[in-house]
Amino acid sequence: MSTQAMERKEGRSPDVERAAQRLARPATRAALALKRLVDVVLALAMLIALLPVLVLVVGLMAFAGDGRWIEKRQRLGRNGRTVSLARFRELPGGSVGRALEHVGARELPLLFAVLRGKLSFVGPRALPPGTGAGYTGPRRLMAPGLTGPAQRGFSSAQEADRLDDAYVERWSLWVDVRLLAGGRPQLAHHRVSKSSS
């Protein structure tokens, strides 16, 4: 059942309604527009700066010659819509390929998803379809992020869901800045740890 159909059948939950109203305020909408602008500028700047790495990765893939460069994963985006996110397949080239994978070169195509608005640099987790938490709760009101409070570490799936929802309910540009800088903002009485998931 689609998210829209679920809403028509059951209506929005109070927490989703509160978060939606908060995100619809003029000041918050202006801040969200600035967030989107920052996403686009950062993604473009990173693609330009990392162009030599991108060319090297494409060269390695072309040299391997199997023609399969990209793998796609389905994830839940804003409003519970399914989005396709691409990344490079396992990189060939022995130690060079492994070194490039170690620095995250396989994930470079995700910057194009940021440019298209499918992802943000900061946001809730990008969950696979069929994951109930991705269809409900405030988290679905915003695009998923490359990083976010739940990606900084959590002890259970329920805690990660609470962190994602709390992020959206209390979203501000300052929270995004702190998360991008590696900080640990206080969200819904959860102190986000620096440990990775």
Asked if residue 20 lies in contact with residue 12, where contact means CB atoms within 8 angstroms, the answer is: yes
Residues in the chain: 197
What sections of the chain are H helices per DSSP?
3-10, 14-23, 26-49, 51-64, 94-102, 110-115, 132-135, 157-169, 173-180
Q: Which residue has the higher pLDDT, 111 or 132?
A: 111
**Which candidate, 161, 141, 137, 142, places its Cα nearest to that of 150?**
161
Asked if residue 57 lies in contact with residue 108, where contact means CB atoms within 8 angstroms, the answer is: yes
Cα angle for residues 74, 149, 188 (degrees, 5° grid):
125
* Phi, psi for residue 164 in degrees, rounded to 5: -60, -45
Q: What percent of the chain has pLDDT over 90?
A: 39
Average pLDDT, the chain: 82
* Phi, psi for residue 165 in degrees, rounded to 5: -65, -45
pTM listed for this prediction: 0.81
Q: Which residue has the higher pLDDT, 187 or 129?
A: 129
Q: How far is CA 117 from CA 52, 86, 146, 171, in A?
A: 24, 14, 12, 18
**Which candidate, 74, 82, 84, 79, places its Cα nearest to that of 3?**
79
For the cut 90, the answer to whether the pLDDT of residue 39 exceeds it is: yes
- Residues facing residue 70 across a β-bridge: 88
For the cut 50, the answer to whether the pLDDT of residue 55 exceeds it is: yes
The arithmetic mean of pLDDT across residues 68-88, rounded, is 89
Mention every residue, 6+ apart, whose C-beta is less than 8 A from residue 67: none
- Read off the pLDDT band of 192 (50, 70, 90): very low
**Which candidate, 123, 49, 114, places its Cα nearest to that of 87?**
114
The arithmetic mean of pLDDT across residues 137-161, rounded, is 86
